[in-house]
């Protein structure tokens, strides 16, 4: 049901072809990712990892379409980049019984499946940045948060190493795709 709703929103965003409807689609899809809901007895519901990767890939593809210099475009890019900070998932608690439950995705350091998932998320986003148009590249650089070099845990932050990787790929893409005669001016 949830994936079907996202698919409908995707079609609406494509048909309307405007940043506001696309932003609604991006918000909805990414609200389903990186969240686990505790349903009791040590069990959790979350969208399976393959579906989360599929949603993220679809979001990245549609964000490429709206590389204009608008607040909606910048928010879409910021939301995509924020996926890099979800090594630890959000956790919500509800008291409803739900049958499709799993054990908690306990982080990339102890669960190989989750570690591989996070590496694939990172790969999708690095590819998104490295394959951006010149306008999208400028927007990525504008909204990319500066890493906190003094935050030892790194939780909720983009690490300096990852930040450099993103900036390098984004700038390479900008200089490859720009039509400006002298882009350094």
| pTM for the whole structure | 0.84
- Spatial neighbors of 24 by CB under 8 A, at least 6 apart, are 9, 13
127-149, pLDDT tens digit by residue? 999 999 999 999 999 999 888 77
Q: What is the pLDDT of residue 87?
A: 64
Q: What is the pLDDT of residue 136?
A: 93
- The alpha carbon of residue 135 and the mean position of all alpha carbons in its chain are separated, in whole angstroms, by 19
90-99, pLDDT tens digit by residue? 778 776 666 6
d(CA 163, CA 50) in angstroms, rounded, equals 25
Q: Which spans in the chain are helix H?
A: 2-16, 19-31, 49-65, 71-82, 112-130, 134-143, 160-177
Taking CA 180 as the corner, what is the angle to CA 76 and CA 74, rounded to the nearest 5 degrees?
Answer: 10
Across the beta sheet with 35-40, the strand order is 43-45, 35-40, 90-93
**CB of 85 closer than 8 Å to CB of 157:** yes
Mean pLDDT of the chain: 84
Q: How confident is the model at residue 108 (pLDDT cuts 50, 70, 90)?
A: very low
| Nearest to 19, CA basis, from 66, 62, 78 | 66
Residue with tokens 């400006």: 180
Q: What is the pLDDT of residue 159?
A: 84
């Amino acid at each position: 049901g949830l994936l079907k709703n996202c698919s409908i929103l995707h079609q609406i965003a494509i048909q309307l072809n405007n940043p506001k409807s696309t932003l609604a689609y991006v918000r909805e899809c990414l609200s389903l990712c990186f969240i686990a809901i505790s349903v009791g007895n040590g069990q959790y519901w979350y969208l399976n990892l393959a579906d989360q990767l599929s949603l993220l890939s679809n979001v990245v593809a549609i964000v490429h379409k709206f590389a204009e210099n608008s607040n909606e475009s910048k928010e879409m890019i910021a939301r995509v980049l924020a996926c890099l900070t979800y090594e630890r998932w959000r956790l919500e608690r509800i008291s409803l019984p739900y049958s499709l439950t799993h054990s908690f995705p306990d982080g990339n350091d102890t669960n190989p499946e989750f570690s591989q998932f996070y590496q694939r998320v990172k790969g999708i986003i690095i590819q998104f940045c490295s394959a951006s148009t010149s306008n999208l590249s400028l927007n990525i650089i504008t909204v990319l948060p500066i890493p906190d070099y003094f935050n030892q845990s790194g939780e909720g932050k983009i690490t300096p190493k990852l930040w450099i990787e993103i900036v390098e790929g984004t700038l390479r893409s900008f200089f490859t795709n720009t039509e400006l005669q002298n882009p350094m001016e």
